[in-house]
Amino acid sequence: MTIQSPSPFPGSAVAEQVAFDRHELGVILTLYGRMVAAGEWRDYGMSFLRDVAVFCVFRRAAEHPLYRIEKRPALRNRQGSYAVIGMDGQVLKRGHDLAAVLRILERKLIRPID
């Protein structure tokens, strides 16, 4: 989904933004809610830029993000639009299906029972 924001200057080009659609946000926020309930995550932030939409996950509000969930439509035909990026900038998973990409983060919820 791209959002067109009105230009502050008459006659200038309209800038486009990449954003998560309602379904994508539903998938992301469902995982976020489960991780908050498990005590793993505590805060999030979103950025919508011209070429990428980013959902950042934080353990505490004043930290660097633990994970970044990115949507880059320009990569749709190559590696896939969606990526999960770790704190160190390493791409943990990339693909065409958001739910499949987010499964890398769901593994933290599955813990062995002692």
Picking from 28, 26, 53, the residue whose alpha carbon sits closest to that of residue 41 is 28
pTM of the predicted model, to two decimals? 0.78
d(C-alpha 59, C-alpha 2), whole Å: 29
Q: pLDDT tens across 78-99, in order? A: 888 999 999 888 999 999 999 9
Local structure of residue 1 (DSSP, 8 states): -
Q: pLDDT tens across 15-53, in order? A: 588 889 999 999 999 999 999 998 888 899 999 999 999
- For tokens 């990428």, the residue is 52
Q: How far is CA 81 from the centre of its chain?
A: 11
Note whether 56 and 73 are within 8 A (CB). Answer: no
